[in-house]
Amino acid sequence: MPRITQEKIKKQTKKPPLSSPPLKGSSSVIANHSTPSKPYRLAHTTSHDGMTTVDVRGLSIGGNHVVIMAGPCSVEDEAQIMAIARAVKEAGATVLRGGAFKPRTGPYDFQGLGKKGLQLLKKASKETGLRTITEVMDPRQVDLIQEYADMFQIGARNMQNYTLLREVGRTKHPVLLKRGMHSTYKEFLLAAEYILAGGNPNVILCERGIRTHVSELRFTLDLNAVPYLKQETHLPIIVDPSHGTGRRDLVPAMSRAAVAAGADGLIIECHTDPAHSVSDADQAISIETLEQLMREINTIVGAIGRTVATL
């Protein structure tokens, strides 16, 4: 058998170059950190003094205030988004949601208004003062969306799109990262870690329901995630009771439960004409339901020593 020299072994085991450079968190944090056993070392509670608050143009997410984000699944047209923006502002929400680029199950479903949708969101924000959140689906959309919206939403289907996570990690723009519908808490926190390690500390987690054996509902809203993640990470956690249930009649109860469980906010689909929503019509609540829910949430947050964020 030929003798294999050390040199040869070195050559054979030399790793090919990485297509993406290692992220910042890798070496420096290992060196400074006393709990290297957590693979999500930047997201872990011990890497931060107290809990993180994310500043969204002066609106703080993750502090004592509970932030309510509301709006349609999709931006449909100018009249729709302006009317909904005015109504959710009046109801007491501080962030307007609305998808301009939509991840739809079928390619023939409405895919969103794209740039036009972003322009309409900005217009609604200018008039009402609401902060805005919209989904980014592709790294090529990052610059454009950053220009128009106050927060990126990374959807459940893209939680493990590492190229996209790296791309938003290069900005300092707030990112709401939704939990994948099949993801464990560890995978969720590792996805957040990609953004943090890229240099963007402004990450907010969002529990939006997972697939379980419960076939009667669209998803199962996993509220265990809230107290569990509160112990495991310093990042704010908000809850999406709309996708988490898929049914408008279940949204108020799960919203109340989420806030009682300690969520830092809610993201709720609502519409001036819920049944005619172009996407996710079954889960959109009416403005009247939102108004009633806001009153109930105010009572619940008062009972746990918090307040609802205002503009």
Residues near ligand PEP (CB under 6 A) are 73, 99, 103, 155-157, 178, 208, 240, 243
Q: Which stretch binds Mn ion (CB under 5 A): 36-44, 72-80, 181-189, 222-230?
A: 72-80
Question: Whole-number minimum distance, CB 300 to ligand PEP, in Å?
Answer: 23
SS3 272: coil
- CA angle centred on 279, ends 223 and 212, rounded to 5°: 35
CB distance 294 to 95 below 8 Å: no
Binder of Mn ion out of 43, 73, 229, 290 (CB under 5 A)? 73
Does 150 engage in binding with Mn ion (CB under 5 A)?
Answer: no
Question: Whole-number minimum distance, CB 202 to ligand PEP, in Å?
Answer: 19
Question: Whole-number minimum distance, CB 242 to Mn ion, in Å?
Answer: 7
CB distance 85 to 127 below 8 Å: yes
Does 225 engage in binding with Mn ion (CB under 5 A)?
Answer: no
Q: DSSP for 79-124, please give it.
A: HHHHHHHHHHHHHT--EEE-BSS---SSTTS----THHHHHHHHHH
Nearer to ligand PEP, 173 or 243 (CB): 243
* 153 token code pair: 């939403």
Query: How far is it, in rounded angstroms, from Cα 40 to Cα 190?
Result: 5
Closest residue by beta carbon to Mn ion = 73
Does 167 engage in binding with Mn ion (CB under 5 A)?
Answer: no
Q: Which of residues 15-54 bind Mn ion (CB under 5 A)?
A: none
Residues that bind Mn ion (CB under 5 A): 73, 280
